[in-house]
Structure 1
Amino acid sequence: MSVHPSAPAASTAATARPTVSLPRLRELAARGEPVAMLTCYDATFAKVLDAAGVDALLVGDSLGNVIQGQPSTLPVSLAHMAYHTECVARAQTAAWLIADLPFGCYEASALQAFDAAATLMRAGARMVKLEGGGALAETVRFLVDRGIPVCAHLGLTPQRVHALGGFRVQGRDEAAADALRADAAAMAAAGATMLVLELVPAALAREITAAHPQMLTIGIGAGAGTAGQVLVLHDLLGLTAGRRPRFVRDFTREPGSSADAPGLPISAAVARYVQDVKAGRFPDERIHAF
């Protein structure tokens, strides 16, 4: 009888590294090591991302766009989010797991938000993310007081895309910047542990990060001055539908390589993303800052 080979190196790496916790994420930020986060929606990719050393996985309602083919995140339901969170949670072993509260399941009341958050926590999430600022401060406080870690999301908030007038940079003028500063302060005071800043000028994102060191800022199109970075997985793999945002980089390609050049394997592309975030090579503010 033949001897079965040992587990692949990638799998061993995923199980060998310690489980990422909130204290671990704070330790990274305290020593100036950026947090590397990616979206993830299924078990297969969860294993790949975990093995590549991604610190945090976000089961984002962006699945409406990249998985369901929807024009926005608005059609995504709580049941959809719970299903995909379960898929990711079954497979990943080390990364911190965050799940989005989808549109329409947390805005009405803190109790509504708690019920939705509890559903995602039962599905395997360790933290929930919601979009919005000061108006949701009491909801955030309600969740935090009941043991549910919260990640806030400011700047371009896709669930409010129609109210914002499209996918555009937020906080450009001083009045808008002041509103973002106030919303960030409200989220920090309410106990949010993490804050995604999307499509925000780099200088403003850096200022908010410095003002609230207790709240880990994660940037997407917000420059390099945040405590970490997040990308939609499909964007990282060069699978962006339509026009690619300028802050996105296809990590399957060498910078400057031709379109017909061989691309990196998915696992290598994800590992490169982690390495480049950690080393401060991504994002490049000369290219991506607003």
Structure 2
Amino acid sequence: MIPNISDLQQKKKKCEKITVVTAYDYTTSRICDESGVDVLLVGDSAGMVMLGYPSTISVTMEEMMVFCRGVINGSNNTVIIADMPFGSYQFDQSLAFLNAIKFIKLGCHAVKIEGGVEIVPLIRKLTEYGIPVMGHIGLKPQTSLLWEGYKVQGKTADSAIALHEQAIEIEKAGAFSLVLELVTRQVAEQISRSLTIPTIGIGS
């Protein structure tokens, strides 16, 4: 079976659960692939889990490519999504295109990008050029540690409204899915119901 992102969208329409596992290596990828996992996310958390970095900020494109290669080699039936590391997409749209293309040419099926309305133009451009994008709102580990630390998102009315607006704009930009990290259950449920694309919870 050739992994297909549209299958995930069909599962959303049918209200079927989608299984997503974070993987950094060949062995984990093989186990998940044989177990019928839908999606493998090669997270930049690999820097902390596998390399001992204090945060995800230090992770490089080169390191992410190595982790992605191992996961790709272990999978035949699973959608593989590469986490775009800090600094690989935020400051230069042309550089973001080149880095996203590197992941796709390597064998990943999509890329994940953290951010709210500020990254909507980039998501729109990437999807226009045929690169599938998963959005990521709520707690954003690449920048949250610099500003406020790891805190639950959506606890106030203003925060909940902002998250909902971000989700809508990211879907409109063409993202095929959206990660909600450390968002309150009520807000996460409201966002999930309002979107036509699948939402994936991390602590939400």
Normalised by the size of structure 2, how large is the TM-score? 0.97
Provide the residue aligned with 2:182 in structure 1.
Answer: 199
* Alpha-carbon distance between aligned partners in 2 of 1:133 and 1:174, rounded to the nearest angstrom: 17
Provide the residue aligned with 2:30 in structure 1.
Answer: 47
Asked whether 1:217 is paired with 2:174, we answer no
| Contact 1:110 1:138 (8 Å CA) reproduced | no
* Alpha-carbon distance between aligned partners in 1 of 2:18 and 2:36, rounded to the nearest angstrom: 10
* Alpha-carbon distance between aligned partners in 1 of 2:144 and 2:161, rounded to the nearest angstrom: 20
Counterpart residue type for residue 56 of structure 2: T
Counterpart residue type for residue 220 of structure 1: I
Asked whether 1:144 is paired with 2:127, we answer yes
Asked whether 1:77 is paired with 2:85, we answer no
Pairwise CA distance, 1:26: 1.6
Q: Alignment length, in residue pairs?
A: 204
Asked whether 1:93 is paired with 2:85, we answer no
What is the DSSP-based 3-state SS (H/G/I as helix, E as strand, rest coil) of the residue aligned with 1:35?
coil
Pairwise CA distance, 1:151: 0.3
Counterpart residue type for residue 159 of structure 1: Q
Provide the residue aligned with 2:91 in structure 1.
Answer: 108
Counterpart residue type for residue 32 of structure 1: C
Which string of whole-angstrom CA distances, capped at 9 and with x for unpartnered residues, describes residues 184-223 of structure 1?
Answer: 111011111110000001111111111111x21001111x
* Alpha-carbon distance between aligned partners in 2 of 1:25 and 1:192, rounded to the nearest angstrom: 12
Pairwise CA distance, 1:123: 1.6
* Alpha-carbon distance between aligned partners in 1 of 2:147 and 2:191, rounded to the nearest angstrom: 21
* Alpha-carbon distance between aligned partners in 2 of 1:210 and 1:110, rounded to the nearest angstrom: 31
* Alpha-carbon distance between aligned partners in 2 of 1:164 and 1:54, rounded to the nearest angstrom: 34
Counterpart residue type for residue 33 of structure 2: D
* Runs of 4 or more above 3 Å deviation: none
* Alpha-carbon distance between aligned partners in 2 of 1:187 and 1:68, rounded to the nearest angstrom: 31
* Alpha-carbon distance between aligned partners in 2 of 1:190 and 1:71, rounded to the nearest angstrom: 33
What is the DSSP-based 3-state SS (H/G/I as helix, E as strand, rest coil) of the residue aligned with 2:19?
strand
Counterpart residue type for residue 206 of structure 1: E
Asked whether 1:160 is paired with 2:135, we answer no
Counterpart residue type for residue 160 of structure 1: T
Pairwise CA distance, 1:20: 3.2
The equivalent position to 1:187 in structure 2, one of 162, 165, 170, is 170
Pairwise CA distance, 1:161: 2.2
Counterpart residue type for residue 66 of structure 1: V
Which string of whole-angstrom CA distances, capped at 9 and with x for unpartnered residues, describes residues 132-173 of structure 1?
Answer: 010111111110000100000000110012244111101110
Name structure 2 gaps, 5 residues minimum: none
Provide the residue aligned with 2:4 in structure 1.
Answer: 21
Pairs within 5 Å for 1:210-249: 210-213=193-196, 215-222=197-204
* Alpha-carbon distance between aligned partners in 2 of 1:110 and 1:180, rounded to the nearest angstrom: 24
* Alpha-carbon distance between aligned partners in 2 of 1:162 and 1:29, rounded to the nearest angstrom: 32
CA RMSD of aligned residues (A): 1.0
Larger C-alpha radius of gyration, 1 or 2? 1
Pairwise CA distance, 1:25: 1.0
Which string of whole-angstrom CA distances, capped at 9 and with x for unpartnered residues, describes residues 52-101 of structure 1?
Answer: 11110000001011101111101100011111111111120101000000
Which string of whole-angstrom CA distances, capped at 9 and with x for unpartnered residues, describes residues 102-134 of structure 1?
Answer: 000100132121111011111211000010010
Counterpart residue type for residue 172 of structure 2: A
Counterpart residue type for residue 70 of structure 1: Y
Normalised by the size of structure 1, how large is the TM-score? 0.69
- Percent identity over paired residues: 37
Pairs within 5 Å for 1:171-182: 171-182=154-165
* Alpha-carbon distance between aligned partners in 2 of 1:26 and 1:186, rounded to the nearest angstrom: 18
